[in-house]
Amino acid sequence: MQPLRKIVICPNPIRDAGFELTNAIRDLLSTRGAEVSVVPLFDVYTGQNAVSEITSALADAELMVCLGGDGTILHTSKYAAAAGVPILGVNLGTLGFIADLERDGWKDIAKVLSGDYIIDERMMLTVSVVRSGKTIVSNTGLNEAAITNGAGTRSVWLTLFSDGLKICRFSGNGVVIATPTGSTGYSMSAGGPVVEPAAASMVVTPVCAHALMDKAFVLSKDRRVIVEVYDGCPAQLSVDGDPAIALERGDSVQIIRSDLITRLVHVSERSFFEVVGRKLNLAI
């Protein structure tokens, strides 16, 4: 692969307190001839997101090194995807399915300077809320769209469609529509399958559904999934953990494959199955 030398480091300042690891990575790459800039994900005191700074830094970057948990990568993925910049993640969180490296393997980042890496392309979702025939909000996510009853204990009633064809109607805590990347997140916790990234599909997983509607559906990546809210308690939509959007009765949430893709850089030799086995303590 072509060497990557214009690098943006995007740390989560809570995960990397004092930017100790950030500074170590910057020094390692800089001493080997890379052009390195550091843009923290957000201000640790105000909580303000550094969206404009990240977007500006990515304009002529060749790689983003993301330090934090999976949530950090999810938050930055839409900006990196829009700029066409690949991401190399270093896991400073808990499970960390998306990040390629763990904290103790951070020095392997230097492999990108010699072209010793591969790129894994991951599909993303475009999620839109339609109310009274008008799209009121749209978002992009790498992991999932979750339509839930929020923190309440009452059920929400939902109807699911695929390309206009009704799949089912059920009540419960909600539904998760996930990419293969997101299949190891909320969807898996709700009983959905683990899907390898190369499958490029959408996983529709009901959450705590009543009656017999408790099975996940694996759909083609090219389907248009629609979730209609028709009764029950107030529902809400969250895309990749972004702030929730309140949904009203009659709203529909439309999910399609995005034109954007997230490109993940791998410098380790771990396979997807090794990562899943290690994180979930499977005997493989």
Residue 104, helix vs strand vs coil: helix
Q: Catalytic residue among 16, 27, 70, 240, which?
A: 70
User: Could you give the C-alpha distances from 13 to 46, 74, 233, in angstroms and in order?
Assistant: 12, 16, 37
- Distance, in Å, from the CA atom of 79 to the CA atom of 242, rounded to the nearest integer, reads 14
- Distance, in Å, from the CA atom of 278 to the CA atom of 284, rounded to the nearest integer, reads 8
Residue-wise over 262-272: b if at least 16 C-beta within 10 A, else e? bbbbbbbeeeb
Compute the radius of gyration of the chain from its Cα atoms.
20
- Distance, in Å, from the CA atom of 273 to the CA atom of 284, rounded to the nearest integer, reads 8
Closest CA to 8 of 82, 63, 51: 63
70 is catalytic: yes
Parallel, antiparallel or unpaired: strands 144-148 and 235-239: antiparallel
- State the catalytic residues: 70
